[in-house]
Structure 1
């Protein structure tokens, strides 16, 4: 069942891609974890105005300046889920349980600021911030339970009615999906439902885009596309609808004028034509992606497509004039030949011949009877010839018709009556004097493998062998040949790796030391008089010319063209190392169709667009480090180097390290750099692909480091500069020189002043001794005074403790007396009650005397007077501050001040222990004491305030 489903999906892809006009696969650049040192999953990406890219990664914020990756973890070391850069260069990020922004300081170093402290209490608990959106001067951060709006140093919180599941913007507004309310729009500061049908159908929105006629186009995870108009949800039925339902859309993005980029969870990225719904192109693991799970799609200003994946980061260089053609969608097939015939493109591969319409070069079909190694394709007299491992063939009606078997055929060269074929074991002639080609004839006399042939005329043929040399072959009676072998002895730089080609009607030998021609007068080879000034002595492996006379060549595994219109050489470093070494093939059909054989597929160059597509590069200084025992980062690269804070470095920093890059993603190998250090070397350096420069042992002074970039078309950037200063050492300063002069003058007077200086020194020494004695005396005096003060303090403390003991004793005495009087009174009362008749009236006077003794105010007056003497008028001060205090309150304060227990206080006041607690509580209220302050501490504090 799974196989049937897979077959059906593949068939659907084939059907929906029939109408596409995109030809070729753009190069895909893989950025792995080993390169950027971040985590596997990357969730979001954005760029600033200078072209630096910022990625929200599991390990933190990843930055890429076109050459160097940098990882910046967030302070709480959680995963980043979203990132957006505003027009001022502030980088807003959403993490787990945090969100905030990075901003470059004066030294170009990114610093993080969390916005979480701005959230009001009660809303600070949240999980991942999945979306960050810049809209209408505000920044919106979406978590599952809240949407946070940051504007003017304030954060507004929008709680989710159910659960926030999506947040995105269009020019028509800001939209969010809620689990209960469906699709909502922010209007007048509040979220208003605009389509609850999304919730009813259990949809998960993955993107909201503008569509025609006030319609929104909505992409969903598992339900395909819908149009939203007037609150109604209308399915958008396209041929690939079931495909996207199965592989699950994860994100969508508008692209070009009438296209959509669609990221999926299991199928990679698709380009969809919006007007027709047809799939135009697909990027998946089969086309070179690292993973089919696309989390976010981003397009940079250079029209590159960035894909953040479940495992890795990939860039599709969509805006490139160089694209890859894959026969049968297999990127492992090596390609050796190409030819346009009857408006069909034929490419020869290691697995046979394939053909496709020239206008739709993605729909290749195999040619029948061509399985195996195809070496060469040639059009001669209305015939398409194929050199194959099994022989020579003519291609008719999508089928190979054999012309030669039992030996492999390398190539074909047309003569007037024959077609010359270079084979594994010599030459063959194919008669071409009729409309129908006949079988090939053998040519006796040379049985070497001849892979390079070029005719001088019908009877003189030049051939080369990679290990023998160059052959000059003369044909006789069309079946016998005579030859002469030319080697290093005849002027060639070497007997190895020579290849013959016909260029501008001349026989040219491509060698490892440049282009050579044959001098018939001296019967030897000489450097080509007209090509050597251009190519000089660069190694050449392959040469051919186009219809306009431009010479296409391969040098050191890199293709290039000598363009006579520009009068210069244009290299294609994008393809360096990708062509088939030893079996190079360049087929320049016209300016818009240049075909180059490669180890994986075939590359197609639109040379006209290639010359027009490149803008002037921009170079950035990405890092400046001052080197000493401990290195110091002077500049971090996240702002313009001309705006960096000026640094004056100590003389110990005599070494400086500069790093620079051009944020043209994917074109790193097409750039070269030149630099200079004004103040040290005022001339520009030679162009080099290096992206860093070190200087050591720089003398003190002012310096300006400048660097500029140049692409392979000769476009040169404006230079970027960084200015700094190295301070002189202390012995190199003007002050030091003045000191040197003073020392010389001092030496002249030294003899005269020696005795006087000696006397002054002795006098100063005596004075210092006296000062030391005086100082020692003062120290001793101060020490004695401190000891005296300490003794006085100890004495006062002892006196206070003694008086406190007396007060406590007196208080206990009064307590005991009160208790005794109370006991006597109780005993008398009990005795009276036992007498019949009761003589209570006779003892009233006595009982009254007991009560007066218990409530004797004179005891309290005496106690309070002694208490104030000991405690600096504590009770008087307390009464003055709190005049509402009663006598009982003052007694309670005094007893607490001398630290009586609750039981003792109860006995003294004649109340119960619970009564004491109640009195303490009432006293706290009268004194207005806060709950966190103890009553005893408060009373001590009153005493301390009074002392002061």
Structure 2
């Protein structure tokens, strides 16, 4: 009895981790550690969920954490308590359970998560409760488990199911929800009630910690201290595994499906174990394998079938579904790897600490799934440089010499001399002789009867020769990192040689860092400036016409051809393959890079061993990577990209968009409403990422801001972009992702409008138009008024000018009239003078004639001669006739009327009774002649003049007191 009690203890002691570790696959998945310093939250994460966009949610001591592949965000609870559970509903609501709190997060108006509490829907009597440990979502029903009650939220109501004793677990598989009560065991929720299984299971001593789908009708139950069970209907049976004792001792705390047919179980002290359906251990992941903590609080398989661990101190990502795994020959030291070779069913790996081997399971095409532990080959302590199979024998280049590996031991061939590599001198196997590149030249091994024997050194060579290749003419090409390239021509017996050094003078771009390799049946030299080949016609090196178009002057550090003719290489710390089986882009090949391996190789000692397409071994500073190239090419997880946040950096940093679009009460994939931002908010910071967690090193991004950028940006690894001082307008920020295989995602976009400044708005422009119209109106009015005023002034001026002109015209007319008058007056005066002159002439002539007549009359008296007297009488008669001659009067009257405006004619018209004598008298009076002058002109006496004047008064009816001259002027108007 006592022995039976001790047996479990003995099994625990003698089935230690070493036995369990022996069940591990030799290829360990990549593990990425996220310590709390990275995600900036609490140490413990209790539950994990993922939405349809790939965003992860962690129930953490400090609240709800989100992670999109690059950016972490924390959302604390209103009561600042620990979040114990999280689940995402199909609507996108993120339900959480915390201490004394249940509710959900959902995007708010700005797309950031906002918490809504459901506690107010809980009946008042049940609103006090402790931690909510589990959440299950079935359709539109959400279950929350606290220790004393289970809440069911549906249709904006919360129903409460008190615990019969104590609710210890709750979980669902498909559409079925199970809960464990401490007294009644495991129960199933049916038709609104919790019903115990017909076969009771899970009493007080059994704590259920996980419930997983096992097959179509069976569930896998994990318990804390009692191992695994299977539930089929209501029947529970024990599930035995290779690790029952280990699981019971380390206590199962969480579980998850790992992949089809595999299950991951998290323990409280042993890390995580992965089992298959048969109960065989697939893998154990604990601190030695790279996780941060052995207390695994929760496990979650994401949509790409990779595993997440919520630990007691941190969060870990396990790339469980990846084509690249790690091989650690020495798990404890994790020393650098330098050489690898599969030989006689084993994988041999040479490290800086010796040679290790492990048996391989060739039933697995991916040999990384072989299980076993590496053991060190005896006699190999120290630095291993090379492993080469020659003539069916495995040779090892070592710091302490050349060795042959037989079984689990190494046997020296060239002891004491550090050896780099081996090269058979014949392409026909078995090769009778093998060249060994060593620290101090070349050594020769002879092979006879299945045994290698040293033939000694080739004399004259003392250089360390780590790179060596033999061309088709059996010439040896070797290089020294800082001396150049040697060509060695061996003698027929291979015991002597001639050597020629090629340097920069012989076509090489330099004397440093030249590496000799044999690929594609030719010897090439990888240099700092491309790939070169030897041209025998010119005895110098030239750029390779075959390799250079592939590498384009790249600095290549390593080249190796695989059995399919593809070329594996390391260039600028990047590992890649030139795959000649996959033409692309007009080339006869495709180049595939492996960003996961960038910078991981051992600098200066790069090594790749392409055993086949499923098994490629790459050395790095902690062992080896194993690459399943075929799986790598087939692995096509959905490549997506999302805009995580949009912040404004204008004035103060504030969130504009939190990464979530909504359409009503559901999370949407595309934007449904355009954000309108004030004009001062014109500088932006965009964050974006791809939730491709296992390939985050493979992703590059291209972006553009339509409305601002002219096109897509170059591809970059950056996950953020800033724009500053954008002018008013509508913009769409777009970003897309691309992986190293050239696959591109659909573009994610965010559209926003920077509103114009108030002075640039439509209303402002309307105001401007109105103001402009007003200004134009006022200007027009002013112009009209000004025009009217000017016109008025003009008219007034014209009037004034016309007036002045009129005055001037009148003045001119007056002047003309005056001139005319003056002329007339002058003419009148002239006429008057002429008349006066004529009149005086007449007067003088009359006087003269009168005197002559008087003299003649007097003389006649004295003439006695009758003839003479008669002649005198004729003369006197002539004189009398002349005095009475009217011809002179006619001339006179004409001139007089011209001067005095028809005075005589007018006077005659008014007074028809006037005689010519009267008219003469009037004319003479008008000329203001004296009576004496008138008398002489009229040839009458003064008395006759007076009588004539008197008679004239009578005819003219001139009063006696009136002046006859004035009257004549008045009567005629002149």
TM-score normalized with structure 2 length: 0.74
Q: From 261, 274, 277, give the equivalent of 1:274.
A: 277
Tell me what 2:437 maps to: 422
Taking the TM superposition and a 5 Å limit, the aligned residue runs for 1:640-789 are: 642-733=670-761, 734-735=765-766, 738=769, 741-742=772-773, 745=776, 748=779
Tell me what 1:357 maps to: 359
Which SS does the other structure have where 2:299 is aligned?
A: strand
C-alpha distance after superposition, 1:14-35 (max 9, x if no partner): 5567677x55111001111111
Say whether 1:326 aligns with 2:341.
Answer: no
How far the C-alpha of 1:5 sits from its partner, in A, is 7.2
How far the C-alpha of 1:687 sits from its partner, in A, is 1.0
Taking the TM superposition and a 5 Å limit, the aligned residue runs for 1:100-249 are: 100-171=103-174, 173-194=176-197, 198=201, 200=203, 202-211=205-214, 215-228=218-231, 234-249=237-252
Which SS does the other structure have where 1:609 is aligned?
A: helix
Taking the TM superposition and a 5 Å limit, the aligned residue runs for 1:479-878 are: 479-566=495-582, 567-639=589-661, 642-733=670-761, 734-735=765-766, 738=769, 741-742=772-773, 745=776, 748=779
Which SS does the other structure have where 1:470 is aligned?
A: strand
How far the C-alpha of 1:727 sits from its partner, in A, is 2.3
Distance 1:420 1:744, change over 3 A: farther
Distance 1:178 1:195, change over 3 A: farther
How far the C-alpha of 1:96 sits from its partner, in A, is 0.9
Say whether 1:391 aligns with 2:401.
Answer: yes
Distance 1:603 1:7, change over 3 A: farther
Distance 1:446 1:361, change over 3 A: farther
Q: Is the 8 A contact 1:641 1:722 kept in 2?
A: no
Q: Is the 8 A contact 1:578 1:600 kept in 2?
A: no
Q: Is the 8 A contact 1:17 1:279 kept in 2?
A: no
Q: Is the 8 A contact 1:108 1:644 kept in 2?
A: no
TM-score normalized with structure 1 length: 0.76
Cα distance between partner residues in 1 of 2:103 and 2:405: 65
C-alpha distance after superposition, 1:657-712 (max 9, x if no partner): 22111111131110111111221223211111111111223222222221111100
Q: Is the 8 A contact 2:401 2:415 kept in 1?
A: yes
C-alpha distance after superposition, 1:701-758 (max 9, x if no partner): 2222211111000111111122222223344453365267447636745866999xxx
Which SS does the other structure have where 1:541 is aligned?
A: strand
How far the C-alpha of 1:549 sits from its partner, in A, is 1.2
Which SS does the other structure have where 1:289 is aligned?
A: coil
Cα distance between partner residues in 1 of 2:356 and 2:48: 39
Cα distance between partner residues in 1 of 2:182 and 2:39: 36
How far the C-alpha of 1:201 sits from its partner, in A, is 5.8
How far the C-alpha of 1:252 sits from its partner, in A, is 2.1
Q: Is the 8 A contact 2:609 2:616 kept in 1?
A: yes
C-alpha distance after superposition, 1:119-154 (max 9, x if no partner): 101111111111111124311111111111111111
Say whether 1:378 aligns with 2:393.
Answer: no
Q: Gapped runs of 5+ residues in structure 2? A: 1-5, 362-369, 427-431, 583-588, 662-667, 787-974
How far the C-alpha of 1:87 sits from its partner, in A, is 1.1
How far the C-alpha of 1:71 sits from its partner, in A, is 0.9
Cα distance between partner residues in 1 of 2:733 and 2:599: 34
Cα distance between partner residues in 2 of 1:453 and 1:95: 66
Cα distance between partner residues in 1 of 2:472 and 2:502: 19
Which SS does the other structure have where 1:493 is aligned?
A: coil
Q: Is the 8 A contact 1:24 1:362 kept in 2?
A: no
Cα distance between partner residues in 1 of 2:784 and 2:42: 76
Taking the TM superposition and a 5 Å limit, the aligned residue runs for 1:262-341 are: 262-275=265-278, 277-330=279-332, 332-341=334-343
Cα distance between partner residues in 2 of 1:754 and 1:9: 115
Distance 1:624 1:214, change over 3 A: closer
Cα distance between partner residues in 2 of 1:169 and 1:627: 45
Let me know the Cα RMSD of the aligned residues: 2.6
Cα distance between partner residues in 1 of 2:719 and 2:14: 44
Distance 1:497 1:65, change over 3 A: same
How far the C-alpha of 1:528 sits from its partner, in A, is 2.1
Instruction: Tell me which structure has the larger Cα radius of gyration.
Output: 2
Q: Gapped runs of 5+ residues in structure 1? A: 756-948
Distance 1:309 1:380, change over 3 A: same
Taking the TM superposition and a 5 Å limit, the aligned residue runs for 1:76-87 are: 76-87=79-90
How far the C-alpha of 1:482 sits from its partner, in A, is 3.3
Q: From 31, 43, 46, give the equivalent of 2:49.
A: 46
Q: How many residues align?
A: 752
Q: Is the 8 A contact 1:587 1:596 kept in 2?
A: yes
Bigger shift: 55-64 or 425-434? Answer: 425-434
C-alpha distance after superposition, 1:170-218 (max 9, x if no partner): 2472211112222222222122222786565611111233456955432
